């Protein structure tokens, strides 16, 4: 009796895990759409507060453990301590999540390098992956709304993550840049003013 029930229980918990993941994905999509609606209506506001960007990045990396292990991606993080400034916590979490989930989506099975550093004037956040990369002619447009590179049609997405990244970083008077060679990965670099 006991034995016959076990597979059903196991199957049940697998289904629950799957349902959990689907709910998480839907919540992510809804959040993205809400952010974009707010941006379009000029209603996305930032609430700057004193925060430690080094801790924030570390926490997001820990939270994204599951998608990263599902993508068989390994994060190599070099995080300088005490990179502090006055920024919007939720916004910067979104920036870090969007860039890291892109690395997991477009560079599965590879090592992803993440750096946090500070210069005299700026906090720097760099994500370097070794995935499919982005063709030169697509490198500007991927930051636009609903734009995706042709090479990523096999991966699901709305084409909003980088648009949101750029909007949030711009609201902080920071900058985003991208370097990529197709087939050799992509490097995204964010700079945020410290003061
Ligand atoms: N690390 C990366 N490597 C290769 N291509 C990438 C990478 N990050 C983004 N891209 C390309 O840029 C496009 C836009 O990225 P963006 O994050 O805005 O949207 P998405 O990942 O397609 O969907 P979502 O709205 O769920 O984030 C992607 O569709 C993909 O073509
Ligand atoms: Mg994305």
The pair of three-digit structure tokens given for residue 185, joined into one six-digit string: 């990965």
Ligand 1 atom closest to 149 (CA)? 31
- Say whether pLDDT at 21 is over 80: yes
Question: What does the buried/exposed string (b/e) look like for 77-94 if buried means 16 or more CB atoms within 10 Å of the residue's CB?
Answer: eebeeebebebbeebbbb
Q: Please give the distance, rounded to the nearest whole angstrom, from the Cα atom of residue 165 to the centre of ligand 2.
A: 10
Ligand 1 pocket member 142 (CB < 6 A)? yes
99 φ, ψ (degrees, to nearest 5): -70, -40
**Distance from C-alpha of 193 to C-alpha of 119, rounded to nearest angstrom:** 10
Whether the per-residue pLDDT at 153 is higher than 70: the answer is: yes
48 C-alpha to ligand 2 centroid (Å):
24
Q: What is the pLDDT of residue 8?
A: 66
The three-state secondary structure class of 163 is helix
**Residue 66 clears pLDDT 60, i.e. is over it:** yes
Q: What's the confidence (pLDDT) of residue 54?
A: 98
- Kindly state the average pLDDT of the residues 175-180: 98
Q: What is the DSSP string of 78-126?
A: EE-S--EEEEEHHHHHHHHHHHHHHHHHHSTTSEEEEEEEE-SSEEEEE
Query: CA-to-CA distance for 147 and 155, rounded, in angstroms?
Result: 13
| Centre of ligand 2 from the C-alpha of residue 159, in Å | 6
> What ligand has the least distance to the C-alpha of 147?
1
Q: Are 133 and 110 in contact (CB under 8 A)?
A: no
Ligand nearest to the CA of 160: 1
Alpha-helical (H) ranges within the chain are 2-40, 53-63, 65-70, 89-106, 161-171
């Amino acid at each position: 009796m006991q034995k016959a029930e076990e597979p059903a229980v196991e199957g049940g918990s697998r289904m629950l895990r799957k349902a959990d993941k689907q709910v998480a994905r839907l919540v992510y999509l809804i959040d993205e759409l809400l952010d974009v609606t707010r941006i379009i209506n000029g209603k996305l506001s930032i609430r700057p507060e004193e925060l430690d960007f080094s801790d924030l990045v570390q926490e997001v990396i820990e939270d994204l453990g599951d998608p990263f292990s599902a993508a068989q991606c390994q994060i190599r993080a070099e995080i300088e301590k005490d990179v502090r400034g006055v920024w919007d916590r939720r916004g910067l979490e979104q920036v870090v999540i969007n860039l890291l989930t892109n690395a997991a989506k477009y560079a599965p099975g590879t090592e992803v390098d993440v750096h946090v550093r500070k210069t005299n004037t700026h906090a720097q956040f760099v994500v370097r992956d070794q995935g499919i990369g982005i063709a030169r002619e697509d490198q500007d447009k991927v930051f636009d709304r609903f734009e995706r590179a042709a090479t990523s049609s096999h991966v699901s997405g709305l084409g909003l993550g980088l648009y949101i990244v750029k909007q949030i970083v711009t609201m902080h008077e920071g900058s985003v840049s991208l370097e990529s060679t197709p087939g050799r990965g992509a490097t995204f670099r964010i700079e945020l003013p410290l003061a």
